[in-house]
Every structure is written in structure tokens, then in C-alpha cells.
């Protein structure tokens, strides 16, 4: 079965083709970073319009790269949520329309399910069950994954998610957009030990995350500096990054010990952070736990994860009728649309 996957949940247009026998045949991604950079964040209407411009040419490109014709596609999968409603509707409308025109089945995919399963695209992949740390711009979650659609949220964000905290802190420090990757690069120049920030909610039991107070701590520290130079900025960036990563590592260790699981998957855009990968790899070695990551390209939003998740959903018998839906808010534990 060959599945065309379409991802348009936010500011990246992703398309891919996954083959059940041959694996990922082709994928393409267009990022809107340059479009939104002057505004310091994603402008939803501009994002939607750019998806309209980019999606069909990307589909043609991916089919050509895979050396396939439209009649070679067996099904279409598209992201139905969560995300920006206008952006989601572009992918859902195009995906469902193509499936109808090609007389092929269509299936809607949960965006975060795509992230959870993206690691399965790698040669070194886990088996069910496993613990997943799902960290992105809108989510910081610890999820027990027992199988397709079998997700138990063990810990969640109660305010700012990790990716959101990275972006907001970068803005406080006067860094560029997108803030998270810029801050991480700056932190590589920082001197450890000059600043120390709190590890939120690690002194109490539980697996939930809270990063808004950490962001405020950074702001107060930055504003207290007299004529700060670039090294001070880098030192603060490093202290912030260390606090975020240490917090996630502490929560991962708790979750692994509580569940007895021996596999840890890192998913979502923040999963591309090199310091996070290094710390959790060391944690896994210490605890005797296998740690798995998607390649950095598949940590951020992409069509490959949607094509693969759609493939699994289709094998499980899921199908979308002619009415298509988009859900900007959609808890992953609620199941299919």
C-alpha cells in the first residue's frame, strides 16, 4: 500500500509517500520561516495562504521524486489536527479532494500521533510498549504508548510548553525567529555555572511540566544585568537550556521508574536539540534503558510521519467519509476524528 501524506498544521508544508513494503519513497518540506520572521511569530492567515500556494506543487514534486503516477497511490492521509484551523483546512480539503478524485480511501491523522510514530521510520526503532517524551512548541507530554491509538498521558504542560518557553525566552533576549533553534545555538557559546535557574516542579511528586515561571526568572535575570554583553546573553541562554533539559530528564527518569518501561522515545521539534539528546542518552545508559530519536528532519513537522501514521491507520481499518474535519484542539487520548 502506497500512502500520500499531507501535513499543514502550522507553518511547514510537508508531503511524502510511504510504501508498506519499500518504506519511505520520497518526501519534501517547505518551511515558512522567512515569511513569518518579520513578525516574530506565525501569522495564521499568511500560513494558510502559503499552504495553498505550496501544496499542489509539492505533491507533484514528491510523486515525481518517487517515480509514481497518481494512479499508483492507494490512499491519502492528511493532518486533521491539532493546529491552526485555516492551515489544517487547506491540507484536509486538498487531501480529501484528491482521494475522492482518484477514487482512493482517505484517512485523517492526529498531528501528535504522527510525531509519536515518526521514530518508526528509522532503522533503529522501538517496539510497543514504550515511553515517549513529546516536546514541541505546543506540547510537553510524557506518554505511555502501548500500540496504535493506545496512548496514556502520564504528564502534561500546565502552562507554557518547552518549545513555547524556548521561543518566548529567545524573544526576551532579543534573538531572532524561530527563537528555539537560535537560542540553542547561542547556548553553545555559554559558560556553565555563571547563572543557575530553577528546575520547575521537580521538588514535588508528579510528571507534569511548568515552564512559565522559568521564563519569568530569565526575564528578571536579564533585566538585572547592567550593560550586558553578548557573552552574558549566551551564559543566560545556556543556563535556561540546562534548566529545561534537566527538568525533562528528571521527569523522564521518574516516568521510567514508575512504569517499568525500558524504551524511551524523544519526539517533537524540541527533540532535535542536541543537548537534550546527549543528556537523555546518558540517562538511558545509566538506567539501562534504550533511547530512540527520529532523525532531526523528522522531529519537526513533516509529511513522512503523516504518511506513515496514515498507513498504520488504514491497515487498522480507519477510513474518512466524504465529509472532512479539522480540529484545532484535539487531545490525543480522544482517538480518531
Cβ–Cβ under 8 Å, residues 182 and 132: no
Residue 180 annotated as binding?
yes
Cβ–Cβ under 8 Å, residues 69 and 297: no
Look at the block and give the residue holding cell 475522492: 100
What is the Cα–Cα distance from 17 to 13, expressed in whole angstroms?
14
Cβ–Cβ under 8 Å, residues 310 and 336: no
Q: Tell me the β-bridge partners of 15.
A: 6, 28
Residue 27 annotated as binding?
no
Residue 136 annotated as binding?
yes
The C-alpha cell of 248 is what?
Answer: 525533562
DSSP string covering 70-100: GGG--EEEEEEESS-HHHHHHHHHHHHHHHH
Q: State the Cα angle at 134 between 292 and 276, rounded to 5°.
A: 60
Residue 134 annotated as binding?
yes
Residue 55 annotated as binding?
no
Residue 137 annotated as binding?
yes
**What are the two backbone dihedrals, phi and then psi, of residue 129, each rounded to the nearest 5 degrees?**
-90, 160
Residue 115 annotated as binding?
yes
Residue 273 annotated as binding?
yes
Closest CA to 107 of 80, 77, 74, 82: 77
Q: Point out the annotated binding site.
A: 111, 115, 134-138, 167, 180, 273, 301
Q: Point out the annotated binding site for Fe cation.
A: 111, 115, 301
Q: Point out the annotated binding site for substrate.
A: 134-138, 167, 180, 273
Amino acid at each position: 500500500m502506497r500512502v500520500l501524506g499531507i501535513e499543514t498544521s502550522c507553518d511547514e508544508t510537508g508531503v511524502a509517500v510511504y510504501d508498506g513494503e519499500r518504506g519511505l519513497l520520497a518526501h519534501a518540506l517547505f518551511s515558512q520561516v522567512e515569511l513569518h520572521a518579520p513578525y516574530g511569530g506565525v501569522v495564521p492567515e499568511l500560513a494558510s495562504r502559503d499552504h495553498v500556494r505550496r501544496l499542489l506543487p509539492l505533491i507533484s514534486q514528491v510523486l515525481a521524486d518517487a517515480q509514481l503516477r497518481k494512479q499508483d497511490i492507494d490512499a491519502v492521509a492528511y493532518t486533521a489536527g491539532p493546529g491552526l484551523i485555516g492551515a489544517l483546512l487547506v491540507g484536509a480539503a486538498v487531501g480529501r479532494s484528491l482521494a475522492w478524485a482518484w477514487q482512493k480511501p482517505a484517512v485523517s491523522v492526529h498531528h501528535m500521533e504522527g510525531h509519536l510514530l515518526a521514530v518508526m521510520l528509522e532503522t533503529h526503532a522501538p517496539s510497543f510498549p514504550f515511553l515517549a517524551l513529546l516536546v514541541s512548541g505546543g506540547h510537553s507530554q510524557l506518554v505511555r504508548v502501548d500500540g496504535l491509538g493506545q496512548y496514556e498521558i502520564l504528564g502534561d504542560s500546565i502552562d507554557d510548553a518547552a518549545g513555547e518557553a524556548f521561543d518566548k525566552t529567545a524573544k526576551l533576549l532579543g534573538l531572532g525567529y524561530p527563537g528555539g533553534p537560535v537560542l540553542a545555538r547561542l547556548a553553545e557559546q555559554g559558560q556553565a555555572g555563571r547563572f543557575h535557574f530553577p528546575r520547575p516542579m521537580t521538588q514535588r511528586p508528579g510528571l507534569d511540566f511548568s515552564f512559565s515561571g522559568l521564563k519569568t526568572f530569565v526575564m528578571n535575570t536579564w533585566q538585572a544585568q547592567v550593560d550586558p554583553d553578548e557573552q552574558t546573553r549566551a551564559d543566560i541562554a545556556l543556563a535556561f537550556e540546562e534548566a529545561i533539559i534537566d527538568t525533562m530528564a528528571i521527569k523522564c527518569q521518574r516516568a521510567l521508574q514508575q512504569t517499568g518501561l525500558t524504551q524511551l522515545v524523544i519526539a517533537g521539534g524540541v527533540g532535535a536539540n542536541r543537548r537534550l539528546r546527549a543528556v537523555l542518552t546518558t540517562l538511558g545508559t545509566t538506567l539501562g534503558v534504550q533511547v530512540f530519536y527520529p532523525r532531526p528532519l523528522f522531529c519537526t513537522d513533516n509529511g513522512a510521519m503523516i504518511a506513515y501514521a496514515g498507513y498504520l491507520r488504514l491497515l487498522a481499518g480507519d477510513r474518512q467519509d466524504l465529509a472532512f474535519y479539522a480540529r484545532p484542539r484535539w487531545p490525543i487520548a480522544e482517538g480518531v476524528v
